[in-house]
Structure 1
Amino acid sequence: MEKPIIAGKEPIAVDVKKGETYYWCSCGRSGKQPFCDGSHKGTSFEPLAFTAEKDETVYLCTCKQTKNPPYCDGSHKNL
């Protein structure tokens, strides 16, 4: 099974808008972290689509080890 690339070791704060759909990079290859840019093509990874429930700042995982994707759960602290 392929493992994701660790794109960063801390989350990225993102302001999301209620009702908008975002595509989180699950492979770690995207140059537009934490979002997908299509770099997963040819791998077993797919972006994770999520829709914001409200206007807010969220902290999205860049280490790709979170147990609560796309949100940071602190897993980067164990790398």
Structure 2
Amino acid sequence: QPESEVRESEFLFLPVTNLGAELRWNQIRVFSSWLDKWIPRKKPLVAQKKPIKVFLKAGKTYKWCVCGRSKNQPFCDASHLFQATGLFPLRFKVEEDRSAFLCACKATSKPPYCDGTHKSNRVQNAQEGSSL
């Protein structure tokens, strides 16, 4: 299925390879249609309208909240399970200690990192806790 035909609600971003401290992202992973029958996917919520600066330690695996419902933003606290969102956290690892700005609006095109999308009118006009 060409990328342009994939609906936004059908994907989860996955890291492929580390190059230095930066992650490259694979194509999207489409879930099987049978999973949708059991756990329909909800849209991510805008957790907040600005990124969150964090310090990431080399070699540690982090779980970035994709659903926007975690009380431990920008990291997952398993709220996606209790609220049956059908969304799952993005696991990532960095190769060196560093600071980073992680997306909290959940609209970035470079998850889990902020790409400035939060500055758009679309995000700024949205209510925190609502979907885009």
Q: TM-score range by the shorter chain?
A: over 0.9
Task: State yes or no: 1:70 paired with 2:112.
Answer: yes
Give the letter for the 2:99 counterpart: T
What 5-or-longer segments of structure 1 have no aligned partner? none
Match of 1:60 in 2: 102
Separation of aligned partners in 1, 2:95 and 2:58? 5
Task: State the TM-score, normalizing by the size of structure 2.
Answer: 0.58
What 5-or-longer segments of structure 2 have no aligned partner? 1-8, 10-41, 124-132
The alignment of Structure 1 onto Structure 2 pairs a total of residues equal to 79
**Cα RMSD after superposing both structures:** 0.8
Task: State yes or no: 1:34 paired with 2:74.
Answer: yes
Deviation at 1:15, TM superposition (A): 0.4
Larger Rg: 2
Q: Which has the higher contact order (CA 8 A, sep 6+)?
A: 1
Q: Which runs of 4+ in 1 moved over 4 A?
A: none
SS in 1 for 2:79: coil
Task: State the TM-score, normalizing by the size of structure 1.
Answer: 0.96
